[in-house]
Amino acid sequence: MAAPVSSVDKTPAECSALNVTSFQKKTRSKSISIPGTRPSVQNGQLLVSSGVTSLDYLLGGGLAVGTVLLIEEDRYDSFSRMIFKYFLAEGVVCRHELFVAATQDDPDDILQELPAPILDDVAIHRPGDQPRMSCEPQDTLDAMKIAWRYQNLPKVQSALASSSRFGHYYDVSKIMEPEIRQAAKWHRFYHPEHPPLSSGTHSPKLESYSALLKSLREVIRREGFDLNAPLPKSRNILRVGLHSLGSALWGDDLCCHDNPKNVHALTSFLYGLRALLRSSLAVAVVTVPSHLIQDRALMGSITRLCDNAIALESFKGSERETNPLYKDYHGLLHVRQVPRLNCLASQLPDHKDLAFKLKRKQFTIERLHLPPDLSETVSRVGKGESAAAACASSSAKHLDF
């Protein structure tokens, strides 16, 4: 779709006025541009990175703004806590605001343990700087005569390169430097600091969850993340991290009893959280110790109330640790649910048997497969390739007569 030859002599201003070709690059897109986000390829949804690039790929490009990611914790809460910290660290690097709620550890301690990002050019944000918008008006640009096709492209950003990248890598052996961490704006909710109020309402909701929901709503309203209110000029995303909901430390007895009294406390809270997030520029990651919840149907309703849901199953302490099949990996990852947002089809992962491995500089999620079997029966199809996939795309080399 090249432009006709005659238009090359004209100035670019005349070019666009005459509209010689139908191929015109958009000068300014209508969608809002917030650092650290990108629109989804499938349905134009605004996505943020979860901090783990392979998890982003699994969830269809990233976490959609306005949704909840549920992580079912592994037994010792080691890897789910790691993903939780990756999520918060990504927020610090992208300069999003954070909201951290926990009961077991003080949120200050969680923030001090964030992994260090692997980047040379992470700009250390000084408080006095104004945040630069990534789409600035192009009126000061000189008219290009030769490279006129690049006229309408945005200027290349040399500084703040980290905030326009999507997804970073972190070094788990190092702690994030205090300067980077302190530049981030964050809010905390530490459950022991909020004593239960004496209220007369008989509701199925727990005091702790109601206080958390109220505090979150206040932060959203005060800091300008609410989509119903007029938004401030420079928009940002709020990353909400809720650690170990449903555990006994929140006052919930879901994990302690077979027939808990407050069966619907957590589900009502998740419904309220969903309602809050759908109307604000925020993303939430919730971890739940699902291995303590005996009622599978309750776990099912908790999963349905969240949008994305993954479950981690680590090999630590189980007999699988010594199984040669799993020797390269730290655990299995199950994708329980992927949302359908604003479209009919959802981006389901290709394969369901996934394993993860925490390396020093990367948290990888890979398809689980057997190493090649070097025996006489070479034509056997490997375990990882499911029958349906083989039917869909069977390559000739697997047929061995």
Partner 1 sequence: MFTELNSILNASPESLTPGEFILLSDRQSDASFLIHHFLSFYLKARCKVCFVALVQSFSHYNAVSQRLGISLTQAKEKGQLTFLEGLKESLSVLIPQEENAENQAMSFLRDPAAGLRSLYEFIQSSVVESNGSGEQWGPPVLLMDDVSVLLSLGVHVGAVLDFSHYCRATVCSQLQGNVVMLVRRDGEAEEDDEGSEQLMRGLTHQSCLTLHVQGLPTGYCRDIHGQVELCWKKRQSDGQHTPKKVFQFKVHDKGLSFFARGTSSAVL
Binding partner 1 (rule: CB under 8 A), the pick from 60, 117, 272, 331 is: 272
Binding partner 1 (rule: CB under 8 A), the pick from 37, 151, 162, 267 is: 267
The answer to whether 40 contacts partner 1 (rule: CB under 8 A) is: no
The answer to whether 308 contacts partner 1 (rule: CB under 8 A) is: no
Q: How many residues bind partner 1 (CB under 8 A)?
A: 47
* Residue 242 vs 276, nearer CB to partner 1: 276
The answer to whether 57 contacts partner 1 (rule: CB under 8 A) is: no
Residue 92 near residue 98, CB atoms below 8 Å: yes
Shortest distance, CB of residue 302 to partner 1, whole angstroms?
Answer: 8
Q: Where in 350-369 is the site for partner 1 (CB under 8 A)?
A: 350, 352
* Residue 5 vs 392, nearer CB to partner 1: 392
Residue 59 near residue 338, CB atoms below 8 Å: yes
Q: Which stretch binds partner 1 (CB under 8 A): 126-134, 186-194, 296-304, 312-320?
A: 296-304
Q: Which stretch binds partner 1 (CB under 8 A): 1-9, 33-41, 188-196, 293-301?
A: 293-301
The 8 Å CB, 24+ separation contacts for 295-300 are 295/258, 298/254, 298/263, 298/267, 299/72
Picking from 208, 238, 213, the residue whose alpha carbon sits closest to that of residue 96 is 238
Binding partner 1 (rule: CB under 8 A), the pick from 275, 370, 378, 381 is: 275
Shortest distance, CB of residue 205 to partner 1, whole angstroms?
Answer: 7
| Rounded (10°) angle between helices 296-305 and 265-278 | 10
Structure tokens of 326? 């799993």
Q: Where in 322-341 is the site for partner 1 (CB under 8 A)?
A: 340-341
* Residue 283 vs 298, nearer CB to partner 1: 298
Structure tokens of 238? 């709020």
As a three-state string, the secondary structure of 85-120 is HHHHHHHHHCCCEEEEEECCCCHHHHHHCCEEECCC
Structure tokens of 134? 């990534």
Residue 371 near residue 94, CB atoms below 8 Å: no
Q: How many CB atoms lie within 10 A of CB 263?
A: 17
* Residue 324 φ then ψ, to 5°: -65, -20
Binding partner 1 (rule: CB under 8 A), the pick from 146, 147, 297, 374 is: 297
Binding mask 201-240 for partner 1 (x = CB under 8 A): xxxxx----x--xx--x-----------------------
Residue 317 near residue 75, CB atoms below 8 Å: yes
The answer to whether 150 contacts partner 1 (rule: CB under 8 A) is: no
Residue 315 near residue 330, CB atoms below 8 Å: yes
Give residues in contact with partner 1 (CB under 8 A): 43, 201-205, 210, 213-214, 217, 263-264, 267-268, 271-272, 274-276, 278-279, 295-301, 303-305, 340-346, 348, 350, 352, 386-389, 391-392
